Amino acid sequence: MPGSPTRSTTTTTTSRRTAATRPRDGAPAAARRCDLVADLDLEKAVPYRPWQTYAEGDVIHHLAWDDFGLVVGKEVLPGNRRVVMVRFTNAGTVRLIEQDGVGP
């Protein structure tokens, strides 16, 4: 109709990619993960226990998953909860609870 307002609608789409699929250096995500953990010294691995603390560079053995990983970062969450980011051989990068005060 003449004189009536028209609405213009535009739709935008954004491509969302997870960190696991986002290319950083051109190599597939699985290849980058394997490169980082391929050189782990499994003799130095310590069993993962949520009541213990870990440092970046520590090698962890997650007993339930039978998987080895490298501590690549640490975070403090709200409520002073602590987590470590561990890049595992099979599971990829996982956030695990650290020092929750519950122990044997």
Is 31 within a domain? no
Q: Is residue 56 part of a domain?
A: yes
The reply to whether the predicted model has a pTM over 0.95 is no
**Residue 86 belongs to a domain:** yes
- Asked whether residue 77 is assigned to any structural domain, the reply reads yes
Residue with tokens 């440092």: 55
Number of domains in the chain: 1
Asked if residue 49 belongs to a domain, the reply is: yes
Q: pLDDT digits over 6-59, tens only? A: 554 444 444 444 444 444 444 445 445 455 667 788 889 999 999 999 999 999
Is 24 domain-assigned? no
| Residue 77, token pair as written in the block | 């969450």
* 38 inside domain: no
CA dihedral of 73, 24, 35, 47, whole degrees rounded to 10: 20
How many angstroms separate the Cα of 33 from the Cα of each of 7, 25, 37, 43, 71?
Answer: 49, 12, 6, 20, 13
Residue range of the domain that includes 58: 44-98
